[in-house]
Chain A
Amino acid sequence: MDKHQSYWKANLRLMTICLSIWFVVSFLFGIILVEPLNNFHLGGYKLGFWFAQQGSIYTFVALVFFYSSRMNKLDKEYGVNEDEEQ
Chain B
Amino acid sequence: MDELKLYTYIAVFGTFGLYFAIAWWARAGSTSEFYIAGGGVHPVLNGMAIGADWMSAASFISMAGLIAFLGYGGSVFLMGWTGGYVLLAMLLAPYLRKYGKFTVPEFIGDRYYSNFARVVAVLCLIIASLTYVIGQMKGVGVAFSRFLEVDYGLGLGIGMFVVWVYAVLGGMKGITYTQIAQYCVLIFAYTVPAVFISLHLTGNPIPQIGLGSTLADGSGVYLLDKLDLIVTDLGFKEYTTAKLGSTLNMFMYTLSLMIGTAGLPHVIMRFFTVPTVKGARSSAGWALVFIAALYTVAPAVGAMARLNLMNTIQPAASEPLEYEQRPQWFKNWEKTGLLKFEDKNGDGKIQYVADKATNELVKVDRDIMVLANPEIANLPNWVIALVAAGGLAAALSTAAGLLLAISSSISHDLMKGVFMPDITEKTELRAGRIAMTVSILVAGYLGLHPPGFAAGTVALAFGLAASSIFPALMMGIFAKSIGSKAAVSGMLAGIGITLLYIFQHEGIMFIKGTAFLGDMARNWFFGIDPKAFGAVGAMVNFSVAFAVSRIIGERPPEDIQAMIEDIRIPAGASAAATGH
> Cβ of B225: which chain A residues have Cβ within 8 Å of it?
44
> Cβ of B573: which chain A residues have Cβ within 8 Å of it?
82
Residue B572 interfacial (CB < 8 Å):
yes
- How many chain B residues sit at the interface, stated as a range, is 35 or more
> Cβ of B224: which chain A residues have Cβ within 8 Å of it?
44-46, 49
| Chain A interface main SS type | helix
Q: Flag if B75 contacts A52 (CB, 8 Å).
A: yes
The contact of B288 among A49, A61, A81, by CB within 8 Å, is A61
Q: Flag if A85 contacts B78 (CB, 8 Å).
A: no
> Cα distance A26–B506 when bound, in Å?
29
User: Would you give 18 A-B contacts (Cβ < 8 Å), ordered by A?
Assistant: A8-B569, A30-B254, A32-B251, A43-B209, A43-B222, A44-B211, A52-B78, A53-B72, A53-B299, A56-B83, A57-B78, A67-B90, A68-B285, A71-B281, A72-B278, A75-B278, A82-B570, A82-B573
Q: Flag if B569 contacts A7 (CB, 8 Å).
A: yes
| Chain B interface main SS type | helix
- Name the interface residues of A34-68: CB closer than 8 Å to any CB of B: 34-35, 38, 42-46, 49-50, 52-54, 56-58, 60-61, 63-65, 67-68
Q: Which residues of A contact B (CB under 8 A)?
A: 4, 7-8, 11, 15, 18-19, 22, 26-27, 30-32, 34-35, 38, 42-46, 49-50, 52-54, 56-58, 60-61, 63-65, 67-68, 71-72, 75, 79-82, 84-86
> Cα distance A65–B214 when bound, in Å?
33
Q: Flag if B72 contacts A68 (CB, 8 Å).
A: no
- Name the interface residues of B528-580: CB closer than 8 Å to any CB of A: 565, 568-574
User: How many pairs of A and B residues are in contact by the CB < 8 Å rule?
Assistant: 144
Q: Which residues of B contact A (CB under 8 A)?
A: 67, 72, 74-75, 78-79, 82-83, 85-86, 89-91, 94, 208-209, 211-214, 222-225, 240-241, 247, 250-251, 254-255, 276-278, 281-282, 284-285, 288-289, 292, 295-296, 299, 565, 568-574
Interface pairs A-B: 3 shortest CB-CB: A44-B222, A52-B75, A43-B212
> Cβ of A42: which chain B residues have Cβ within 8 Å of it?
212
The residue on A at minimum CB distance from B74 is A53
Q: Flag if A81 contacts B285 (CB, 8 Å).
A: no
> Cα distance A8–B213 when bound, in Å?
46
A68-B89, A68-B282 in contact; A53/B288 too (CB < 8 A)? no
> Cα distance A15–B86 when bound, in Å?
10
Distance (Å) between the CB of A2 and the closest chain B CB?
Answer: 10
The residue on A at minimum CB distance from B572 is A85
Distance (Å) between the CB of B187 and the closest chain A CB?
Answer: 15
